[in-house]
Structure 1
Amino acid sequence: MGKVNQFTADDHKIVTSAVSLAEKATDGEIVTIVTGQSDHYGDVAWALSGLVALTALLVVSLFPEIYLNMIDWFAGGWSGVTALPYWALFVFAAMKFFGTRLILIWKPLLFLLIPSPIKKARVRRRAVTLFRVSTDHRTVGRTGILLYLSMREHRAEIVADEAIAANVEPAVWGDAMIAMIDLVRAGTPGAGMAEAVRQMGLVLAEHFPKTDQNPNELPDRLIEL
């Protein structure tokens, strides 16, 4: 949903090497995906525009004299209007609505206004969707796990297959997530994902040590969407 320019060819090599190294000690299969953003948030932009329009109408209803004076001024003091006409309210609300929507085309402003819980939910939903496509039911022992990073939202998710989820509490991945986010913030996203993979590999090696019955079934390379 958005090309990530922060990841260089070297970053891809670093992450891919980290996955290959981590999987040497475990039957777990680590899939890494990075994307520019997890959602277009068009519905949020429309909702914010509607909120602005409704708020503007509320202000008009509370302070109608301000707008009556404006109409009178434009008419040179000859408007004779004592109440705001419905067409004026409609035009005013429409201008606020579509004007706000036009402004919110600028992504930095839109992302500044999107509530954090919405970003978190959208990133999680996208991660789960990608997990189902790339990882779920694709390993013999149900030992696939996805590390997902969404750059614009500054969020990441780890989604594990059935066997891993049954043996490892979600909180265990906390250190890996923190290490990755810290390095991403420092401007080294490739190193951040590689460190997260390393720490995930240690956990997987503890619960799912390497055996001869589990081949490498999922790609080691970093997938960039």
Structure 2
Amino acid sequence: VLFRVKPIQFRLVPRRLQQARAASLARQAFLQQGLHRTKGATGVLIFVSEAEHYVEILADQGIAQHVPDSEWQSMVDAFIAHLKRGDVAKGFQECVAACGDKLAAHVPATEQKNELPNHLVIL
């Protein structure tokens, strides 16, 4: 019964397990949104689980080969700092802008129409 109360649930479930579940959800969302199906393998997902203070940026192969994990991690760390302060909106804004800067440098925009919609998905 205690596990049904969210604040108690988050205190009782080990942090490692919470983050493993969030990471699994991030990968599921990447596939469900079809981000792996773009022509140039250029899909990017910014996954945020506010309760766990978990953020992950998943990039398809076409982008991942150009941007090292350390650069994504610095964006994630900045976003998590915003989450801990309760400033989710500013965290999103800065993370999206930073991702945009990385993409512009490594995978420049083309005249083609976006293959995927740019929108927020709440699970």
Q: TM-score, normalised by structure 2?
A: 0.89
Q: How does 1:110-125 map to 2 (within 5 A)?
A: 110-125=9-24
> What CA distance in whole angstroms lies between the structure 2 residues aligned with 1:149 and 1:220?
16
- Amino acid of the residue matched to residue 136 of structure 1? L
Q: TM-score, normalised by structure 1?
A: 0.51
Q: Deviations over 1:43-63 (max 9, x none)?
A: xxxxxxxxxxxxxxxxxxxxx
How large is the Cα RMSD of the aligned pairs?
A: 1.5
Q: Deviation of residue 128 (structure 1)? A: 0.3
Q: Deviation of residue 152 (structure 1)? A: 1.3
Q: Deviation of residue 171 (structure 1)? A: 1.6
The alignment covers a number of residue pairs equal to 123
The answer to whether the 8 Å contact 1:143/1:161 transfers is yes
Work out which of the two has the higher radius of gyration on C-alpha atoms and give 1 or 2.
1
Q: How does 1:39-188 map to 2 (within 5 A)?
A: 102-188=1-87
In structure 2, the partner of 1:224 is 122
The answer to whether the 8 Å contact 1:139/1:217 transfers is yes
Q: Deviation of residue 124 (structure 1)? A: 0.6
Q: How does 1:20-39 map to 2 (within 5 A)?
A: none
Higher relative contact order (CA 8 A, sep 6+): 1
- Amino acid of the residue matched to residue 161 of structure 1? D
List alignment gaps of at least 5 residues for structure 1: 1-101
The answer to whether the 8 Å contact 1:135/1:146 transfers is no
- Amino acid of the residue matched to residue 160 of structure 1? A
| Aligned-pair identity (%) | 37
* Structure 1 residue ranges, 4+ long, deviating more than 6 angstroms after superposition: none
The answer to whether the 8 Å contact 1:141/1:163 transfers is yes
> What CA distance in whole angstroms lies between the structure 2 residues aligned with 1:205 and 1:188?
26
Q: Deviation of residue 114 (structure 1)? A: 1.3
